[in-house]
Amino acid sequence: MAKQKSKFVCQECGYETPKWMGKCPGCHKWNTLVEERVASNTSGRHTFVTGDTSGKVKPEKITEIASQKEPRIETDMPEVNRVLGGGIVPGSLVLIGGDPGIGKSTILLQVSSQLAHKKNKVLYISGEESPKQTKLRADRLGVLSDHLYVLSETNMADVSQNIDQIQPSFVVIDSIQTIFKEEVASAPGSVSQVRECTSELMRIAKQKGIPIFIVGHVTKEGSIAGPRLLEHMVDAVLYFEGERHHTFRILRSVKNRFGSTHEMGIFEMKEEGLREVENPSEIFLEERSQGAAGSTVVASMEGTRPILVEIQSLISPTSYGNPRRMATGVDSNRVPLLMAVLEKRVGLLLQNQDAYVKVAGGVKLDEPAIDLAVAVSIASSFQDRASKADDVLIGEVGLTGEVRRVARIEQRVQEAAKLGFKRAIVPKKNLSGWTFPDNIEIIGVNSVQEALKQTLGGS
């Protein structure tokens, strides 16, 4: 009898070592290494070529491979189709993550019902809820269909067997952390189990051409639990974001092999489920206070969609030796950088001021084009002078105080003009090469000082 070997695997990053250590050398986390037995008869090899029983795949010349456009399965939610790049690609493996109770199961059950109403067989596999619990949610959402099958199972072998028997056109796994393979000697949710089960689901998706959606739990830091390998194996990674105490939810694409990344779909949670928000810019700006110091509006790009959101800042004298710098919805490292630029290049004394910056509506913005709006918002709050309510600011701010050009300036300005804004403060380098809308004034600036003179009447 062969001697069983064991290894220690980090449950955070997937680092493997033959002996136990208190601190993982990969992610530097403590007490994350767990012992797992190594199966000697598993090769871990898969081939995704259908009809090839030998398992041998020969290389092909790239010029001889036939080019074909991937067919798309469209849902009745245009926002979901947008995030996926135009619809669901057959044979794709999609990972969706989000905080508990955010609405992952709800949106997948709604999408499953929409596909089932189009005579597609849909298999919804829940490892966390019984079929009766799933039925209660389906009754509340009104998503009943004879083509929608529900299965409560956690054994990967039984999951694969049911897929072979039912031959569905669409599969949902909720969630991957509850599925296990008997051949892997570790607990469900461990690195080895998640890796092997995802690999098996990937084989099924590619060989049978079935699109599979898998739900992934998230850690306290907000990232999908388990190793980054899980995100590398799938074709698309979607994050479902939003505050549990607010009605708006954001479905964001961070990886997509069949479309553009950083696309965003916005939904509103209702009693009957998730409802799409057709014009998110109006939603984010409807509660904006007119004439309030520290409030500015920026046109940000989320994938191919421009949205207008409000940036709010509050600057107040500090009561401590080290002033506080807090940011919600923007990079927390970006706020001290912009305050240093305002202090050095504009002459605002901010070193003894607490700063609080927030993006209204719960949106997260991570592009550099929001720099100018954040900087003007901080200066507006510090000087207690409100910027003009019908101004929209767009531009990246450099360390020397210059305003640098940004991409897709035409789409941003057109969205602002559509919502009734009268002026757009943009980088002067962006003024050439496109046609200005008739109902909005375009003002080009080279520096933060010029932007402050236009918006606040001086620096």
Whether 269 and 278 have beta carbons less than 8 Å apart is answered as no
Give CA 179 to chain center in angstroms. 24
336-340 long-range contacts, CB within 8 A, separation 24+: 337/399, 338/371, 338/374, 338/375, 338/378, 338/397, 339/378
DSSP-assigned beta bridge partners for residue 180: 155
* Per-residue tokens: 140: 């509340």
Apex CA 452: angle with CA 450 and CA 457, to 5°? 105
99 is in an annotated binding site: yes
100 is in an annotated binding site: yes
Query: What is the spatial distance between Cα 93 and Cα 71, in angstroms, rounded to a whole number?
Result: 15
DSSP-based three-state secondary structure for 358: strand
DSSP-assigned beta bridge partners for residue 334: none
Pairing of strands 273-276, 295-302: unpaired
Q: Which residues contact 283 (CB under 8 A, 6 or more apart)?
A: 248, 266, 277, 361
Nearest to 327 by CA among 282, 270, 365: 365
Q: Is the dihedral of CA 160, 99, 301, 337 positive or negative?
A: negative
Whether 145 and 113 have beta carbons less than 8 Å apart is answered as yes
Sheet holding 33-38, edge to edge: 16-17, 5-10, 33-38
Whether 216 and 72 have beta carbons less than 8 Å apart is answered as no
Query: What is the spatial distance between Cα 380 and Cα 383, in angstroms, rounded to a whole number?
Result: 5
For residue 455, is it left (φ>0), alpha (ψ between -120 and 50) or beta? alpha
222 is in an annotated binding site: no
- What backbone phi and psi angles, to 5 degrees, belong to 407? -85, 160
Instruction: For 299-331, give the DSSP string.
Output: EEEETTEEEEEEEEEEEEE-SSSS--EEEESS-
Nearest to 336 by CA among 354, 321, 363, 312: 354
102 is in an annotated binding site: yes
Angle between helices 156-166 and 191-208 (to 10 degrees): 10
Q: Which residues are annotated as a binding site?
A: 98-105
Q: Which residues are annotated as a binding site for ATP?
A: 98-105
